[in-house]
Amino acid sequence: MKRILSIFRRSKRKVDVNQVARREVKKVGATADNPIQDPVDDALGRAKVAKNFASQLLSLDVSEGVVVGVLGPWGSGKTSFVNIARTYLDDSGIAVLNFNPWMFSGTEQLVDSFFVEISAQLRLTPELSEVGKGLEEYGEAFAGMGWLPLVGPWIERGRAATSLISKMLQHRREGVGSRRAKVEKALRGLSKPLIVVLDDIDRLTTGEIRDIFKLVRLTANFPNIIYVVAFDRARVEEALAEQGIPGRDYLEKILQVGIDLPEVPPKALIHQTLKAIDDALSQVDQKGTFDEDSWPDVFMEVIRPLVRNMRDVRRYAASVHGTVTGLGGQVALVDVLALEAVRVFLPDVFRRLHISIDGLTQTSNFSSSGSDDSPYLKQQIEQLIDSAGAHAPVVRDVIERLFPAALSHIGGSCYVPQSAHRWLRERRVAHEDVLRFYLERVLGEGLQAFTHAEEVWARMLNRKALEDYFRLIEPEMWEDVISSLEVYEDEFEPEHVIPGSVALLNLLPDLPERERGMFEFGSAMVVGRVVYRLVRTIKTPDKVEEAVRRILPELNTLSAKNKLITIVGYRENAGHELVSEEAARQLEAEWRAEVRAAAPSTLTKEQDLLRVLMNAKRDASSNEALLVVPDSPAIVLRLLRSAHSYALSQQMGTRAVRRSPRLAWDVLVEICGGERELGERIAQLRPVCPKGELMYLELAEKYLGGWRPGDFGGD
């Protein structure tokens, strides 16, 4: 699809990569960390250098053997370079043998396996059979029997193991010198030299590196043999160093020729990294939103400084493929690409991300620049940067590009809590819920609710679709989903007001009750906040009144209607004055008339019956009929339930919150016309009260007996 690669060549805009992927699918997925085998796969322009290297090998004086080093740091492409050179050597008809010491461990295995593997490969070619036989006999003088269970694949093709054992015992009686002479004679008779490639030496332990170079030194001056030894010079020199003798001096006594692999051109490495990302994502269906505006900076400041060679490119691409697939598009793609670079190349920093979540994502309570009032958050960020060592500038760039809330801890601007709405909507790891999902791969309640809110928002113009979708969600999640809709506040439009308000307000009676902290909003407040933000998108009072009058007949409860009228009206500390005062008075009067006319069966279904009757009674004008509360045990029980609440208190020095049950007793007395009248109604409830509702009845009887709660939450 080439979306990642093309950003550096095209105009910038935000792209939903999930949609692009469905249009453009390639065969390539994650890139394996394997060396290339063919010059056509050469992405670094080294084929010409490899061809020249092959020609150089063929021109060497091999009368006494030659050891050639292919030198380069870990991951620089030494094996790929040798493989390309080998294709040119194969064309010349020269025999190229391979020995990978990393397949074996320990001195005895290395020595045994070297001679057995090389001789077995030689015996596969008839004209080299005599050389293979002699080399094997020579090696038997230095090796024991411990290699037998661990020989490489070539020995099975050479001859039976039992025959080898009997011959080994016979040849051990001969001297090393005579065996060496046989090998030299056979080698001198060859028309072309042999090339033996020893790779992956820098992956060995220090002791094994020393063993393999002793082995090379032991056979290096055989005629007509060229050893091509590929390794990281710094690693091998360190391993070969002995007391008072630098490893470089030892190495130079063995190597006659050395070629240092050319550095990968920066532009080529950038191109290959971008191409590898494209290939890794080609078959991932859900990638997440891709922000083309931020991508170039993230790539050049975070990813590019950490990628040193082609092996890094392959490791990184493989990690990206697996992670993006697992996240299922739930996290912004640019953020994932940046954090995967941290995961692969800065593991110490990545391990600290989880314990730094607060410092990375908590916004300030004030908007002006300055230090935050939580020193431990600043300490988290400082320790995160320190853990990067020499790559500290990269981590600072990660914070700047991905975690704006943490900028205040490193001298940047502060971000207010409202910024988190945008981060959540864009699935940025700057939001705590998104970062936790990326790190933990568990969809937390917050992000899960927002995922549903995205679906709700997509249906906001269709009331039925809205209602149907909410019925698919567990009711316990409704409140959080509704609250998450505030993230879309800046996208609310007047056309959303009627379908959105009707659907949300009609959910009020079915919202499950839940325990709340001291400062948490109630469910009615959560719904009211979203409805208010919807309605205020209509800019003129008469248009608001028109919308309200279209909404009210669609609402199923008096409580929902009261909530809407309160939002747009002038009630103290509750109304937002979105309609004219006259319109508000008319709406309230019409609603009170509806309350007075409501049948008992209607009133018993009201979740917030106490508030309904209280407002209808208190706000009535002198020329309105008196509100008569039906004398029904069911209505009394509903009143007690809606009057019930908990007072929350917390003692100094403890995190425990104490919950003490309360009744809005004075309001109950007012609605029923006095405490004696209320007592009579409660007495009628006693014989018919369901067992599950006795807590409300018993608390009311406690009030009737003279009990009153103490101050500050005490009983």
Query: Using one digit for the tens of pLDDT, what is the confidence trace for 218-242?
Result: 777 888 889 899 999 999 998 888 7
For residue 370, the 8-state DSSP code is: S
% of the chain at pLDDT higher than 90: 53
Q: Is residue 61 part of a domain?
A: yes
Reported residue count of the chain is 715
How far apart are the two ends of the chain, measured CA to CA in Å?
A: 68
Contact 644, 522 (CB under 8 A): no
pLDDT band for position 118 (50/70/90)?
confident
250 and 219 in a common domain? yes
pLDDT above 50 for 22: no
Of 260, 294, 310, the residue that ends a domain is 260
Q: Is the pLDDT of residue 349 over 90?
A: yes
> Are residues 295 and 197 part of one domain?
no
**Is-contact 616 592, C-beta < 8 A?**
yes
Q: What is the dihedral of CA 270, 275, 277, 281, to 10 degrees?
A: 170
Q: Are 107 and 211 in contact (CB under 8 A)?
A: yes
Q: Is 157 a residue whose pLDDT tops 80? A: no
Domain membership of residue 60 (yes or no) is yes
Q: Is the pLDDT of residue 140 over 90?
A: no
Residue 215: inside a domain, yes or no? Answer: yes
Q: At what angle do helices 463-472 and 497-505 cross, to 10 degrees?
A: 30
Domain boundary among 399, 420, 440: 440
| DSSP E strand stretches across 399-491 | none
**Confidence band for 28, pLDDT divided at 50, 70 and 90:** very low
Q: What is the dihedral of CA 450, 452, 455, 461, to 10 degrees?
A: -90
Split at pLDDT 50, 70, 90, the class of 143 is low
The pairing of strands 644-649 and 257-260 is unpaired
29 to 275, 333, 337: CA distances (angstroms): 12, 16, 16
Instruction: Identify the top-confidence range among 5-9, 83-87, 366-370, 587-591.
Output: 587-591
Residue in the structure block whose two tokens are 């295995």: 109
Dist CA 641 CA 664 (whole Å): 10
CATH of the domain at 167: 3.40.50.300
Asked if 278 and 165 sit in the same domain, the reply is no
Q: 652 or 67, which is more confident?
A: 67
Q: Are residues 244 and 344 in the same domain?
A: no
Residues paired with residue 70 on neighbouring β-strands, in sequence order: 230, 259
Residues 6 or more apart in contact with residue 553 via CB below 8 angstroms: none
Its domain, for residue 210, covers: 45-260
Residues 256 and 271 in one domain: no
**Beta strands of 23-137 (E only): which ranges?**
66-71, 95-99
Strands 14-16 and 225-231: unpaired
Q: Is residue 589 part of a domain?
A: no
Distance between CA atoms of residues 458 and 442, nearest Å: 24
Say whether both 133 and 115 belong to one domain: yes
Angle between helices 392-402 and 333-345 (to 10 degrees): 160
In a domain, 573, yes or no: no
**Whether residues 224 and 355 fall in one domain:** no
| The total number of structural domains that make up the chain | 3
- 525 within domain boundaries: no
Same-domain status, 229 and 97:
yes
Q: Where is 229: in which H helix or E strand?
A: strand 225-231
Is residue 243 included in any domain, yes or no? yes
Query: Does the residue 357 lie in any domain?
Result: yes
**What pLDDT, on the 0 to 100 scale, is given for residue 154?**
39
Among 260, 285, 304, residue at a domain's last position: 260
Whether 379 and 277 map to the same domain: the answer is: yes
pLDDT of residue 548: 98
Cβ–Cβ under 8 Å, residues 488 and 459: no
Number of neighbouring beta carbons within 10 Å of residue 39: 17
For 371-399, b where at least 16 C-beta lie within 10 A, e where not — what string? ebeeeebbebbeebbebbeebeebbbbbb
Alpha-helical (H) ranges within 282-327 are 295-298, 310-327
Question: Do 161 and 177 fall within a single domain?
Answer: yes
Residues 92 and 113 in one domain: yes
Given a cut of 70, whether residue 213 has pLDDT beyond it is yes
Same domain, 137 and 275: no
